[in-house]
Amino acid sequence: MYVVIEGIDTAGKSTQLELLKKKFPKATFTKEPGGTPIGIKLREMALGGEAKSKIAEMFLFLADRAEHIEEVIKNNENKIVISDRSMISGIAYANQLDIDKLVELNLIATDNTLPTHVILLELTPKELKYRLSLKDNDSIELRGIDYLINIQNRMKETIKKLNINHIFIDASLKIEEIEKKIEDFINAN
């Protein structure tokens, strides 16, 4: 079972992952970018904002993803793996290219491996604005509310297009309510 938690910046992914670690102690927890030793270096490069080219930035994320699939996902095929982000983020954030082209590129990186379960935490523009105001923003968060809401729409479109088993959850619900919905979704499937 390859479960991924998706959502734009500040949607509440890390908060829920910490709770899931207690609920599913035998699962393998991982993340993109940065779930492998090479991935840690690629993450630094991608998020440092050094790349002038958006295409170069996308290839950094794709390199991270290819290594992550090979080293983490395939090596834990018979376990529950729960990942903070996946190719869904890869396709949504690279918004300079169309989704079909990005699906092709991402399937090369993942050797055709798709998540089996996608949980998307969905933010309203108002809540996103509030949550971003509470923290120092990295180079991607500095692109702003409209950019991130557009990315969220691309995430939803991608999940539907790939026809992956999924749940969309209102990220403004109480933390415990979201936790329960996620637990029920994983256990039901």
Ligand X SMILES: Nc1ncnc2c1ncn2[C@@H]1O[C@H](COP(=O)(O)OP(=O)(O)OP(=O)(O)O)[C@@H](O)[C@H]1O
Ligand Y SMILES: Cc1cn([C@H]2C[C@H](O)[C@@H](COP(=O)(O)O)O2)c(=O)[nH]c1=O
- Report the greatest alpha carbon distance in the chain: 44
Is the peptide bond between 33 and the residue preceding it cis, with omega within 30 degrees of 0? yes
Flag whether 13 is marked binding: yes
Flag whether 14 is marked binding: yes
Query: 105 vs 178, which CB is nearer to ligand X?
Result: 178
Residues 26-85 that bind ligand Y (CB under 6 A): 32-33, 47, 61, 85
Residue 134 touches which member of ligand X, ligand Y, none, C-beta under 5-8 Å by kind? ligand X
> What is the helix (H) or strand (E) element at residue 179, kind and residue range?
helix 175-188
Residue 68 touches which member of ligand X, ligand Y, none, C-beta under 5-8 Å by kind? none
Q: Which two tokens stand for residue 135?
A: 């923290």
Contact 109, 66 (CB under 8 A): yes
Rule CB under 6 A: is residue 15 a binding residue for ligand X? Answer: yes
Q: Which two tokens stand for residue 21?
A: 């670690």
Flag whether 10 is marked binding: yes
Contact 28, 72 (CB under 8 A): yes
Minimum CB distance to ligand Y, residue 39 (Å): 10
Please name the residue ranges forming H helices in 69-174. Answer: 87-93, 99-109, 125-133, 145-162
Binding mask 19-38 for ligand X (x = CB under 6 A): --------------------
Contact 87, 65 (CB under 8 A): yes
User: Phi and psi at residue 126, in whole multiples of 5°?
Assistant: -65, -45
Rule CB under 6 A: is residue 90 a binding residue for ligand Y? Answer: yes
Residue 140 touches which member of ligand X, ligand Y, none, C-beta under 5-8 Å by kind? ligand Y
Residue 35 touches which member of ligand X, ligand Y, none, C-beta under 5-8 Å by kind? none
Flag whether 144 is marked binding: no
Chain residues binding ligand X by CB under 6 A are 7, 9-15, 131, 134, 173, 175, 178
Query: Which residues are part of a known binding site for ATP?
Result: 7-14
